[in-house]
Structure 1
Amino acid sequence: MEIFTLPDVGEGLTEAEITEWKVAVGDTVAVNDILCEIETAKSLVELPSPYAGTVAELMAPAGETIEVGAPIIGISTSASEAPRHSDPAEPSSSPAGLGTNAVAADPAHAAVPAETGYSLPDERGTDEVGIGEEAPVPADGGDSVHSSGGAADIAGYSSGAALTGSGPKADAATRRPRKRSSAPAFQASQASQAGPAGSVGPKPAAAPQPPVPSGQTAVAPSWSPRLREEPAAAQPTPAQPAAPAQSSPAQPTAPATRGRKLPAAVGQLMAAGRERQTEVAGLFERVLAKPPVRRIAKELGVDLTKVRATGQFGEVTRTDVEDYLAERETNIDTSASFWMPDRGDNDARTERIRVKGVRKATAAAVSESYRDAPHVSIFVDVDASRTMEFVKRLKTSREFEGVKVTPLLILAKAVIWAAARNPHVNASWTDEEILVKHYMNLGIAAATPRGLLVPNVKNANELSLRQLAEALGTLARRAKDGKTQPAEMADGTISITNIGALGIDTGTPIINRGEVAIVAFGTIRQKPWVVSGEVIPRWITTLGGSFDHRVVDGDLSARFMADVAAIMEEPALLLE
């Protein structure tokens, strides 16, 4: 019988809890079959079987914390049951021998040499992957043969049998040819529709405003179709000022002096401006939603101002209303059964939760970071209207088909861009040295049912916009499914926490241990904003940043946050 002990899955693991056994005594297992699921201080890990045979004994119950190296399962193999005097080179005629040969001959169970492993259907690396092609990140969030957190490392083997997470991924093989073939057609279509300056990207957001004739005031922002159409009829053409003089020769014409006077036009513009101020004042109190959604919300008694909008243009959708109702009902049901009556014993009304796993590791990490690193926080309000327009174009672009695009993607690119201009924010502190990292492993804080996790995108500075979007999506899916591996959370250099997803404007985040900076991304809301002397509705967000004052001084943190804000206000700067 072969004894399988609890391996160190990485990060200097000393213990882990067996959360669930996937096999029972008497079950037949093959190499790489999942034996159990363990919870470490950072993640849930599936342990594959290094042996083929029959489960003889489960040596550790589920729910128990086991030290690394302790035996957890015994597996009876054909080799262990064969007589010791038999010649290993001679084929065995016993049933056990036949079983051994069958396992060895079965390609599905054969050990894959570490020198060869396996190759993806189109293994080209990441150097030449660009927009319109599938990035080398597995589409299903599974481990790739190139990832450092593969199951082979988890089981403690660097060669021999291929462990969990192996196997080619179908998405990359099927989607890459389709993307290559459709990219030229998409480019030609966009070129014919957009004209000389037409292309999907940040450039349209940076287009200059049309020139305003001398003596007139620009009152309509280019991004508001409604406000743009009204003054269009009111603004006179250059020939209009002379019209009264031609129709009434008896009246003296006004001399051509500096600041030509246009009484009628100015009166119309002032009246229109007063009307717009009234409209804009009411616009801030409104919530974007289609009439059917408003009708449903009214029938169900839902206040749309309290519903988190997830629509493409920031509007509240029917799904948002349904999710809000479901969450509200859940909270009501939970609150009704939460409180316990007073029976004279408060201990009986107190729930005790053992601190373990992710919660224990998070508590140690944030305590150490807050205790050792002197935190300094700064905030900046940002007009993210052009970012919202850019995200809208990317969502409708065929280049980003099948990829989730959110404002977080633009913020991630902004952090990468700003860190290159302010390198000391992408560093770590030791008692004797400041280690400036010339690469970026961008951490994204993720709230999961098991606690706070901060997986990071390796070498995020080398990824295209599409590749970065895919990587962020993969991190989010794996974190939500509880499949984040310790290697995915190691070696982070700077982090982002998206508290805006919870409807929060800003906060003072605690720096991830081993880093010196973290950026908090607040929710994006329509708020009154002054543009060219006028108060108009714009998409506004608040960015917060916490920095280790041992490394990052006040002026450096301010420059870094200003650079991040500049990209959020004008994504076209990424093209420079």
Structure 2
Amino acid sequence: MTATEQRFREFKMPDVGEGLTEAEILKWYVQPGDTVTDGQVICEVETAKAAVELPCPYDGVVQAVHFDEGVTVDVGTSIIVVDTNPGAGPAEAPAAQAAPAAEAEEEAEPQGRQAVLVGYGAAPSSTKRRARKAQPGAAGASSEPAAAAVQAELNGHAGAAVPSAPAPAAPSLPTAERPLAKPPVRKLAKDLGIDLATVTPTGPDGVITREDVHAAASATAPAAEAPAPAPAAAVATGGSEAVRARETRIPIKGVRKATAQAMVNSAFTAPHVTEFITVDVTRTMKLVQELKQDPDMAGLRVNPLLLVAKALLVAIKRNPEINAAWDEENQEIVRKDYVNLGIAAATPRGLIVPNIKDAEAKTLPQLAAALGELVATAREGKTAPGDMAGGTVTITNVGVFGVDTGTPILNPGESAILAFGAVKLQPWVHKGKVKPRQVTTLALSFDHRLVDGELGSKVLADIAAILEHPKRLITWA
């Protein structure tokens, strides 16, 4: 590694999860010129699993921030440059005057160890960053002269203006710059067969808009070709543009994109079977109220979900074959001697399923504490990727929305998921008489490749029996 490379260190987008390929920059906490220390959080990014804060691995001064907030960046792409020896003098100043020439389409990659988060490896990337127009006051614009200077240093041109790269056959043309457009607009252009390089942009700072693409498509349509008749719905509402004006289109990315892919893969890979049971949980609801007054549960979150989770853990202990996974590659059923209990949580970024590691070994107070921490962390959007990995079974509490029950889809890699419905006061036959009782409906979905009907039924029946007579938590545990 050269002296220049040792001084100007590039921090690349790490893989902060398990095989993730990209992350969106949500917020920058530093700007060019700021002093940073090793371990200081420099930005927050959203991956396909959760929002994660990235710490800087260097001490020094920020020289360049390559991407603005809201931009999705591939893993392995440099996002920030830190001058680790700012006292050495402004070696980059002469090169900064040649910023237009130094800012090339493809950035040089420093040799040697890549800076990544502890425990994660940055995947190699061939991502190329396009030159961006200067914007007064914008983070990306303010970093361009410094970025060009640092790049000049890395390319070995410190102290002199950077000469233009020789053209192999013809002089470089300004039109070679990649047109500016958001991903949904690029997809629209691709669907319509429009080359973005031929589109005249009307958006701020030369950004191509959806309307620009539609205008280009209309201009390239053959004049003699008769327009196709508009669909009845479009005619009734005044045409497709009028319909589009009344719609809100949200890009599919981050947690929502990952959830969608996982659910499709699960639904069409594992043959789902769902069984239902309606149960009188009056005694369980009374126990919840008693536990709230118990000194051993002081300060802990005590609710029906806690006892449902404990009932599921006891049912798994009595029927351990259900705590397994299907290994398609090796054609094996993998039975697990531990239970990582997943709890489906609705967050502003979408559905996530963090899990409580080794839940079967926890006492009721410990389980309550773990549940409370899991829910609080999920609501804050701070769930770490590791907390969502390795789940074995899951509970989804649809009852909090007033829903009786549902047919839940398995979390990928798991064999079963339990839906806990709303607890309602209903007429129920109790000791030979119809009385008002607290009643709920449970639904258990399971992978029929490794869980047959008998096993699934036994597990669901055990859960119901415990909730009907919670003293079984003692006699069966």
Pairwise TM-score range, normalised by the shorter structure: 0.5 to 0.7
In structure 2, runs of 5+ residues without a counterpart are: 1-7, 90-116, 123-235
1:496 positional shift? 0.4
Alignment of 1:350-361 (within 5 A): 350-361=247-258
Check conservation: 1:441, 1:458, Cα contact below 8 A: yes
Check conservation: 1:391, 1:406, Cα contact below 8 A: yes
In structure 2, which of residues 380, 398, 409 is the aligned counterpart of residue 510 of structure 1? 409
Cα deviation 1:274-309 (Å, max 9, x = unaligned) = xxxxxxxxxxxxxxxxxxxxxxxxxxxxxxxxxxxx
Alignment of 1:326-405 (within 5 A): 344=239, 345-405=242-302
1:574 positional shift? 1.4
Cα deviation 1:393-417 (Å, max 9, x = unaligned) = 1111111111110110001111111
In structure 1, runs of 5+ residues without a counterpart are: 84-150, 157-340
User: CA RMSD of the aligned region, Å?
Assistant: 1.7
Structure 2 counterpart SS, 1:555: helix
Cα distance in 1 for partners of 2:406, 2:15 equals 36
- Are 1:77 and 2:84 matched, yes or no? yes
The one-letter amino acid paired with 1:473 is G
- Are 1:550 and 2:452 matched, yes or no? no
Match of 1:172 in 2: none
Structure 2 counterpart SS, 1:420: helix
Give the structure with the higher percent strand. Answer: 2
Match of 2:313 in 1: 416
Match of 1:246 in 2: none
Q: Which 4+ residue blocks in structure 1 deviate beyond 6 angstroms?
A: none
Cα distance in 2 for partners of 1:155, 1:479 equals 25
- Are 1:487 and 2:386 matched, yes or no? yes
Give the structure with the higher percent helix. Answer: 1
The one-letter amino acid paired with 1:35 is I
1:153 positional shift? 3.5
Match of 2:69 in 1: 62
Cα distance in 2 for partners of 1:402, 1:436 equals 36
Scaled by the length of structure 2, what TM-score is found?
A: 0.66
Cα distance in 1 for partners of 2:337, 2:87 equals 55
Cα deviation 1:480-532 (Å, max 9, x = unaligned) = 00001111010100000000011101100001100111000001111111112
1:382 positional shift? 1.0
Check conservation: 1:47, 1:155, Cα contact below 8 A: no
- Are 1:35 and 2:1 matched, yes or no? no
- Are 1:499 and 2:465 matched, yes or no? no
1:350 positional shift? 2.2
In structure 2, which of residues 309, 319, 322 is the aligned counterpart of residue 425 of structure 1? 322
Match of 2:114 in 1: none
The one-letter amino acid paired with 2:119 is D
- Are 1:406 and 2:413 matched, yes or no? no
Cα distance in 2 for partners of 1:483, 1:154 equals 18
Match of 1:457 in 2: 356
1:343 positional shift? 5.5
Check conservation: 1:48, 1:155, Cα contact below 8 A: no
Structure 2 counterpart SS, 1:468: helix
Cα deviation 1:247-268 (Å, max 9, x = unaligned) = xxxxxxxxxxxxxxxxxxxxxx
Q: In 2 relative to 1, CA 362–448 (structure 1 residues): closer, same or farther, beyond 3 Å?
A: same
Match of 2:333 in 1: 434
The one-letter amino acid paired with 2:31 is A
Cα distance in 2 for partners of 1:342, 1:397 equals 62
- Are 1:559 and 2:431 matched, yes or no? no
Cα distance in 2 for partners of 1:45, 1:493 equals 24
The one-letter amino acid paired with 1:12 is G
Alignment of 1:116-265 (within 5 A): 152-153=118-119
The structure that has the greater radius of gyration is 1
Scaled by the length of structure 1, what TM-score is found?
A: 0.55
